[in-house]
Structure 1
Amino acid sequence: MSPTLYPEPLTAEKFAPFGDVIELRGDADKIINQGMCGRHHDLAQLDFGSGRAGISLFDAKARHFPHELDMMERHPEGSQAFVPLSAVPMIISVAADENGKPGKPQVFLSAPHQSINIHRNIWHGVLAPLGRAGQYIVVDRIGDTPNLEEHWFTTPFLVDAPN
């Protein structure tokens, strides 16, 4: 039987060991463009190792509860930021490293206005928009050397709706 995980709301504090939550937090750091725009400055620690920053568009199919978490991946050469273009919440699965494999996953559920940046070498699940398809701007490492490790769980986890 698969162990069941329940997502908790995504907060900057709880997600900090794995990455950054990119969202507005209070007043803007600077007012620019003749006073017509607030700049909320430097909200994520982007890290691209031996490559360069690239911007891609991802078009992800909808996931639903219960959601099977059977695989996690990590990118040893760079961070990955996911910025939703459509107001679709994401199921975000992350785990600490335990001897080269993911430990017990933690699961978060983003609000439609939240973006994330997963730090370099952090185990995470695949992009999982909840309820309907989602489109995302993804900022990550582009390079010629390998940057993907996958781990398939012997017994998948089941992610179900929050209590």
Structure 2
Amino acid sequence: MPVIEALTHAAFAPFGELIEASEEVRHYPINAGNTERYHDLAQLDAGPDGRLILSIFRAQPRSLPFSVTMLERHPLGSQAFVPLSGKPYLVVVAAPGASPTAADLRCFLARGDQGVNYAAGTWHHPLLALDTVCDFLVLDRSGPGANCDEILLEKAVSISLPGAP
């Protein structure tokens, strides 16, 4: 079972970008000082012949412990998720490349004010909302070509929060 890690810029860098308004990212005042702009937070990638689209995904809550049995990846473009409900959620990922095994998984607990941008080809589990239905603003690729690969893990991985049974 992977340890659930805090979601930080450094820890998530092998998989894409952390999207958050923090002191760690470039930011500056705009609109006569009435607004703080957190600038260029993710390298959005529509890939060849693609275009970026904006959607809202409504995720049903998952009960913990949760068994991760599959992963997906989008080889032709990135996929960004920004929570709209202000609730924490889990992020399960593995590096791009060959089909990962259970030992390759990393699991992060994202705060309700942190989004993620999966780099093209990054293996990830579909949305893992906790406790309640959660909406996410999603920026991803639309266009020609097969852009969703799914795999079943040879061995299921159980995820639970620290201190939970």
Following superposition, the deviation at residue 96 of structure 1 comes to 1.9
Greater mean alpha carbon deviation, residues 25-34 or residues 48-57: 25-34
Q: CA RMSD in A?
A: 1.5
Q: Is it true that 1:54 corresponds to 2:53 in the alignment?
A: yes
Paired AA for residue 9 in structure 2: A
Residues 25-40 of structure 1 correspond to what in structure 2 (within 5 A)? 25-26=22-23, 29-40=27-38
Following superposition, the deviation at residue 6 of structure 1 comes to 2.9
SS at match of 1:65: coil
TM (norm. structure 2) is: 0.90
Tell me the distance in 2 between the aligned counterparts of 1:61 and 1:29.
33
The residue number in structure 1 matching 2:110 is: 110
Residues 33-52 of structure 1 show CA distances to partners (whole Å, capped at 9, x for unaligned) of 22211111101111110201
Could you tell me the percent identity over the aligned residues?
40
Following superposition, the deviation at residue 89 of structure 1 comes to 1.0
The residue number in structure 1 matching 2:154 is: 154
TM (norm. structure 1) is: 0.92
- The answer as to whether partners of 1:5 and 1:160 remain within 8 angstroms in 2 is no
Residues 90-105 of structure 1 correspond to what in structure 2 (within 5 A)? 90-97=89-96, 100-103=98-101, 104-105=104-105
Please identify runs of 4+ aligned residues in structure 1 that moved more than 3 A.
Answer: none
Q: Is it true that 1:24 corresponds to 2:40 in the alignment?
A: no
SS at match of 2:10: helix
Following superposition, the deviation at residue 28 of structure 1 comes to 6.2
Q: Which runs of 5+ in 2 are unaligned?
A: none
Tell me the distance in 2 between the aligned counterparts of 1:88 and 1:160.
17
- The answer as to whether partners of 1:28 and 1:38 remain within 8 angstroms in 2 is no
